[in-house]
Structure 1
Amino acid sequence: MTSSPTKKQLIDSLSERNPSVDWKTRLNSPSRRLLNFFENISLRLEAPVNWLINDPRFNPLYHTGTITIFLLVVILLTGIYLTMFYPFGFTFSYLAVSKIEANFIGRIIRAMHRYASDAAVIFALLHGWRTFFQDRFRGPRWLAWVTGVGMAVVVWAIGITGYWLIWDERAQILNQSLFSILGNSKGGQTFIVDFITGEAAGTGWIFMMIVIVLHLGLSALTAFFLWLHLKRMSRAKWLPPKYWMAISVFVLLLSAALFPLGMLPPLAATQLPEQAPIDLFYLFYLPTFLRGPQALFWSALLFIIGLVTALPWIMPRAKKLEPVKVDLANCDGCTLCERDCPYLAIKMIPRTDGARPKFQADIDPNLCVSCGVCIGSCPDNALAFGDIPLNPLWKTTLERSCRKEKCQGRFYL
């Protein structure tokens, strides 16, 4: 078993690979030390999974983002099926869900919808946590981080409205949380009487229509956030490998068959339920919200969301990474760097120096993360990390590759 390298050995190794970065300053910054601490803990927790699976292709921790998207697709498809049988009205809605639960296919699809929703939260949280401790949220990657946080908030709201649509005892608790918010204003009191509790509410179809419009509208907003989330990726993977989609569907089907959801008693407007099960992934806030000071709850919630959203700016890098530079004298406009850049940071533009090639590479400093992929793509050594000469970098890379492949006398040209 090999021992972990010391801090000095790590800095020396990284400096040899990429001397354009001041690794000593970067690794000793407070934010980097904090991320290293979280990374060490996380990797130790992941070690049993890596040992048990022993193949990155079948390790779900390496596919958390794409598995989350696939689960959202499952939620969408099962949700479309459930909506086809959903009428609007307090009693009508509950009876419709009861009929769906009484049907074998409907029961399976409803359970898949619920379990996929919970699984999506788990994988999304894992994806966000791994993105955080791997330091992939700062600099030009801020857009993906902010939209990811926004998407999490929207999905949470979708889950809450979904539980409201059943109109059972759990919806009564949600009603109480709504009453506690709206009851403090005259307009809110009027809304409660006219659309939920009073005779003017009638069958309740208007309120249930509002809830399902919110449920579907927020779902559409999730798609927009997802597009923004991947907007700056040139070759973004939307879905996981086929075997992971098959495994996900199988697990959801098995869970739905073995653990059906069942039905809670219908909502009784004149009586609060003594107790009702809550989904810890979506309704975790209810006990604290209903029993504690609401102003304190909302302040704490908004503070946490704002803090997480602002992490790319709260934890800046000790030294900003400079974007890759283009040497026009060597650039022949081959477009290889543009095609290989993962972050859409390179565009081919008309030549500005009057040379014979029609195009030249242009680096967008707002999108470049200084990953160096383009340097390896360029056959003419026209790209570099600032003023760092390329020959030592290529020599180090070839030597490491040769040692790894045990080339023993073979030369890489």
Structure 2
Amino acid sequence: MNARNFLYIRPYNPAVAKRIADDKLATKKILLENNLPTPQLLAAFETRDDIRNFDWASLPESGFAIKPARGYGGLGILVMKRWEKTTGRTINDEVKEKKSLESYILDIQEGAYSLQFLPDAAFIEERIIRHSFFKKLAAIGIPDIRVIVFNRIPVMAMMRLPTAESHGKANIHQGAIAFGIDMRSGVTTSAIHKNKTITRIPGTKIKISGIKIPEWENILLLATKAQSVSGLGYAGIDIVLDENKGPLILEINARPGLAIQKANRASLRTRLERVENMDLPTPERGVEVSKSLFAESFSEKVTAKTNIITVIQPITIRFKGGTKDVLAKIDTGAYRTSIDNVLAQELSLIPNDEKVYVKSASGNGSRDTVDFSYILAGKKITTIASLANRSHMRYRVIIGRLDLKGFLITPELHPTQN
């Protein structure tokens, strides 16, 4: 622990960056400024007046989470699974009224859960919907992925699986399970529970090793981008998988613990020393280096999944108000994905300042663009799409070849079109 502080935290993590990382509200601001996905902020409470003036009826019926800005170890987090104007239920099925939540937030402001018990701020953010992948792992609560990133290179990762013993929290010290993860493939290799090595998830026949984490490439890239914008040279990035939104950055830690070594049965310091003098230009390059340097011996046998798609393919568009399913046409003759401008307006997709030059059968010219996020054959894709008038066309979205890396395309029509 002392070596970690002396060799990595002190020299690579400036005081200003550590203060921001210790404050979840400040961290969220940095992430949003850099267009990195994080759970939506619904309200912030810095003073007592903020509590008195808050409209509790404005909160979503689907629930929310109340958190201290400077909390640690998962303490002070209260998750409501349902809410009806002034009353609701927690994930533990306790009934909570508006007054009890106001008292709870006041406790947070008075420092009940903060570092050194100093005065704090509270905030409310959207409730994360657990990814369906975790249901088969008998997860209780929301699992998360911690990635240690050093100088834009992910060096080690673990998944923390909440249990009944940990009361649904991804806290290893309270009884959550920590899984080591192969950096190349995203497949689990080993695990610890209450400081002991285990081979199966307690109470089940599910093996610890061989579990492939969804969206692994996106998780590594997102963690690396978060470290890059945080101002920290050495950081632990906590990421959750939301059923509708995919990977979201939950926290940035300036002093990540060392339990990750036990979960992976590997020396963190050895990995850090291998990359300490590397200076990589982009997060994307950092992920490539990580997958090359820190692959387990078995991972060469793990083949990347190739998705086979058809000419007409259903996609799920993700936008601020939710999701929308549409049929899209796969067009390798088009370089960039294109969306009908009326559909973009319906989804409240705001045009970017920059335009792109497009060559098409209908003519060449510049077009407006929008940030466009969608799921194609189970893969989340975030791209910049051009806007076009497709009102006279059968399909309102065209998927261009820029977004088709990793897919094989069959000339058959989608079954719904036969």
Relative to the length of structure 1, the TM-score reads 0.22
Q: Which has the higher helix share?
A: 1
Bigger relative CO (Cα 8 Å, ≥ 6 apart):
1
Relative to the length of structure 2, the TM-score reads 0.22
Larger radius of gyration: 1
